[in-house]
Amino acid sequence: MSLPMGPWRLTYTPGQWLVLAGPRLVAVMQPAPPKMSVLVNQLWTDMQAAGSLASLLELLRGYSLDQMPDFAAFVWDGGSLHGLARGRISVVDVATGQTALDGSGALTWHEAHLGTIRGLRVDMGVLEYDALLHLPLIVGAVGASALHLTTDPDQLVRLPDAEHQLPEPVSPDPQPISEPLQPVAMPETQEMAAHSEDSQFQRPDIGGYVEEQYTPTPLGIGVQVNTGEFANVVGGLVVGRAPDAARGPIGSSLMRVPSPGNDISRSHLLVEPAGASEARVTDLRSTNGTTVQLNGEEPYLLENGESVTVPIGTVLNLGDGVSLRVEQAR
């Protein structure tokens, strides 16, 4: 039987967050600026030697990653999966839909033993996971918006059997060179000098990554009411004068708005995230519908259960002097 290439199978959806993957360790961290390329490459190299939870913790402290606002890591140690999370990264059990690990509120990070056979989705924000392109990842570094990890043996990527391996390539006879090649002198840069055999590599200061180069920005979308109330949209938000959570997906939140003239229905509108900067708005068979005003475009009426995807900045007029504005999450 062929051997697996690692203890898990990874897929990711493209995005801005940095994912570093090794045979037994995966790290998820906030987007890195270009000037941190040397640091990121050195971190990825050092990760390959971190084969246990203890060595992972030592590595993270050595790079001061416990100061990074948003971070997660997974390591296969002792025959099972362990996870760490900090900040806005959450880990969801695919089978149950329950949160397996949540980084919010952690002073350093939250740690969890995640078992042996597990399917996990690592969310770095609010998005339509099933509507995005999923790509394989074995070893390397990618920009991602979400990550899927499974340890199911039936889904692991396996090496080919010996009888199915490709034959060794046969090198053609070398052709004589009429003139010997002359070495080309390359100017030594400061970065090359730092990696020379006569000097020890000095890691760039991670503080420049954490404090100066990255300013955390909210992920997802929210809704601002012209009466002053604001709500982040996570899962679904049912808006109306007496909203009912059953009119939205499981776990929907409620936003009650005033309607002195009863122009606004009890459950009038459903707002759902449709990516990092868009919302999906659905009329809940309201009596009078909702007027949708996109920037620079003519307003139109959303009614009869219709749905539309709108960007941040869109104004939704419910009637009775109440309007909502789609904004960045806070």
Q: What is the pLDDT of residue 131?
A: 61
Q: What is the CATH number of domain 221-328?
A: 2.60.200.20
Residue 214's SS3 state is coil
Q: Is the pLDDT of residue 187 over 70?
A: no
Residue spans of the domains in the chain: they are 9-159, 221-328
Please indicate whether residue 173 or residue 280 has the higher confidence score (pLDDT).
280
Q: What is the pLDDT of residue 328?
A: 83
9-159, CATH topology level:
Phosphatase 2c; domain 1 (3.60.40)
Please indicate whether residue 324 or residue 212 has the higher confidence score (pLDDT).
324
Residue 54's SS3 state is helix
Please indicate whether residue 283 or residue 185 has the higher confidence score (pLDDT).
283
Quote the CA–CA distance of 58 and 313 in Å, as a whole number. 45
Give the angle subtended at the CA of 108 by the CAs of 106 and 113, to the nearest 5°.
80
- How much of the chain is in helix, strand and coil states, percent to nearest 5? 15, 35, 50
pTM: 0.52
Quote the CA–CA distance of 26 and 44 in Å, as a whole number. 10
The letter for the amino acid at 13 is: T
C-alpha closest to that of 123 among 278, 280, 276: 276
pLDDT digits (tens, 9 = 90+) for 214-252: 444 445 788 999 888 888 887 788 999 998 888 887 667
Split at pLDDT 50, 70, 90, the class of 29 is: confident
Q: What is the pLDDT of residue 193?
A: 45
Residue 43 gets the label, from left (phi > 0), alpha (psi -120 to 50) or beta, of: alpha
Q: What is the pLDDT of residue 111?
A: 86
DSSP string, 161-201: PGGGSPPPPPPPPPPPPSSPPPP---PPPHHHHHTSTTS--
Give the angle subtended at the CA of 85 by the CAs of 47 and 234, to the nearest 5°.
135
Split at pLDDT 50, 70, 90, the class of 182 is: low
Instruction: Please list the residues that pair with 324 across neighbouring strands.
Output: 225, 316
The letter for the amino acid at 116 is: T
DSSP string, 56-96: HHHHHHHTTGGG-SSEEEEEEETTEEEEEEETT-EEEETTT
E strand or H helix that includes residue 323 = strand 322-328
The pair of structure tokens assigned to 247 is: 């009119």
The letter for the amino acid at 141 is: A
Lowest mean pLDDT of 155-164, 211-220, 229-238, 252-261, name the range.
211-220
pLDDT digits (tens, 9 = 90+) for 107-141: 777 888 888 777 888 887 655 556 678 898 988 99
Residue 105 gets the label, from left (phi > 0), alpha (psi -120 to 50) or beta, of: left
DSSP string, 238-287: EEESS--GGGSSTT-EEEE---TTS-S-SS-EEEEE-SSSEEEEEE-S-S
The alpha carbon dihedral of 329, 106, 113, 65 has a sign of positive
Integer-rounded Cα Rg, in Å, for the chain is 26
Q: What is the pLDDT of residue 177?
A: 47
pLDDT digits (tens, 9 = 90+) for 87-108: 878 888 888 888 888 887 777 7
CA 204 to chain centre: 25
